[in-house]
Homo-oligomer: A and B are copies of this chain.
Amino acid sequence: MKGASVVPITVAGLKSACSQCNLQELCLPFGLDDSEINRLDELVATRRKVKRQQHLYRAGEAFEAIYAIRTGSFKTDVILEDGREQVTGFQMTGEILGLDGISSEHHSCNAVALEDSEVCIIPFAKLEELSREVEALQHQFHKVMSREIVRDHGVMMLLGSMRAEERLAAFLLNMSQRFTARGFSPAEFHLRMTREEIGSYLGLKLETVSRAFSRFQEDGLVSVQQKHIRILDIPGLKKLMHHPQVT
């Protein structure tokens, strides 16, 4: 409940709202014209800082808003009564958190910052209101939700039908692609999550993740130094995904 009681921080100078944000094309404003984005600005007036390891929200909390990541990154997870954790996703800047809460008016998973981060608070009732007036916003919001569903299907495929090394390859390629979309190098990046979190996401134990990294390094596919990753052979990784085995 600690996370819940954190008071949202209203940032003083509001000039850096959606209309000024360089994440527009990855986020909710995509497809809106200038006047529409200005209307969205009014909605997204408050922001909140979340320190590393802190919760943005917890399973069970009342749902009131969705969040757009402005800086930093998060993981979402579900925890069973017996303590088993399943990481359901890793989110980067421009991505939307909290969509799980709409269905029951309560969040159904936890969102935890992987590094010091900041999110834009989008009150959901107001978003629905505005998206009744702004067609482009409505449509973009539906696309964001649908994209999450498609992403989830991909994860099911990964968990249900791929072997350990394929899963890790898919994960690395996905990260690479998302870093690229944000203007970073496709080949070199820093992972914010632990081996254990990667393992939970991929349905593997941390040792298996570590071994797969070592294997990739031996095979010259990547260079790994702790959390720093350099992908040396993207086609090689892709090949590995499609050709599960020599058998």
The closest CB in chain B to the CB of A199 belongs to B160
Stretch of A49-57, A77-85, A223-231 lying at the B interface: A77-85
Which of chain A's residues 225-247 have a Cβ closer than 8 Å to chain B? 242-244
Q: How many residues of A contact B (CB 8 A)?
A: 48
In the bound complex, residues from chain B placing their C-beta under 8 Å from that of A99 are 145-146, 149
The closest CB in chain B to the CB of A144 belongs to B103
Q: How many copies of the chain does the oligomer comprise?
A: 2
Whether the pair B132, A203 counts as a contact (CB closer than 8 A) is: no
The closest CB in chain B to the CB of A129 belongs to B135
Encoded as 1 (CB less than 8 Å from any B CB) or 0, chain A from 176 to 200 comes to 0000000000000000000000001
Whether the pair B161, A86 counts as a contact (CB closer than 8 A) is: yes
Asked whether A61 is an interface residue with its Cβ less than 8 Å from the other chain, the reply is no
Distance A80 CA – B160 CA, assembled complex (angstroms) = 12
Which applies to chain A's interface (DSSP): helix, strand, loop or mixed? helix
Whether the pair A142, B139 counts as a contact (CB closer than 8 A) is: no
In the bound complex, residues from chain B placing their C-beta under 8 Å from that of A203 are 159-161
Whether the pair A153, B243 counts as a contact (CB closer than 8 A) is: no
Contact of A156 among B86, B143, B148, B161 (CB under 8 A): B86
Whether the pair A81, B242 counts as a contact (CB closer than 8 A) is: yes
Whether the pair A149, B150 counts as a contact (CB closer than 8 A) is: no
Asked whether A175 is an interface residue with its Cβ less than 8 Å from the other chain, the reply is no
Report A66 CB to chain B, min CB distance, Å: 10
In the bound complex, residues from chain B placing their C-beta under 8 Å from that of A29 are none
Binding site for B on A (CB under 8 A): 78, 80-82, 84-86, 88, 99-104, 108-109, 128, 131-133, 135, 138-139, 142-150, 152-157, 159-161, 200-203, 242-244
